Amino acid sequence: VVCQNVIRTFRAACDTPGKSRVVIPPGEFLAGSMVFVGPCKGPVLFQIIGNMKAVDDPSAYAEDFWMSFEDVDGLTVCGTGTIDGQGQNMWPYNNCGKSGGTCSPFPAKVTRSTIETGDDCVAAIQGCTEVAIKKVTCGPGHGISVGSLGKYPDEKDVRGITVKNCTLKNTDNGIRIKTYAGSPPSQASRMVFEDIVMEDVKHPIIIDQHYGPKSVILFLQPSQVRISDVQFNNIRGTTVSNVAIELDCSEKVPCEGIRFDNVDLKYSGESKKPFVTTCSNAKVSFQGVQFPPPCPCSK
Closest alpha carbon to 201 in 172, 234, 163, 177: 172
Q: For residue 268, what are the CA distances in angstroms to 143, 170, 198, 242?
A: 18, 12, 11, 9
- Residue partners of 94: CB distance under 8 A and separation at least 6: none
Partners of 265 in the beta sheet?
Answer: 237
Q: How many Å from the N-terminal Cα to the C-terminal Cα in the chain?
A: 56
Q: How far apart are CA 68 and CA 37, in angstroms?
A: 8
- According to the 3-state scheme, what is the secondary structure of 54-82? ECCCHHHCCCCCCEEEECCCCEEEECCCE
Specify the length of the chain in residues.
Answer: 299
**10 Å Cβ neighbour count for 144?**
27
**10 Å Cβ neighbour count for 273?**
10
- Name the active-site residue from 6, 103, 131, 142: 142
Q: What is the CA angle 238-244-250, rounded to 5?
A: 150
Question: Does 210 qualify as catalytic in the annotation?
Answer: no
Catalytic residues: 142
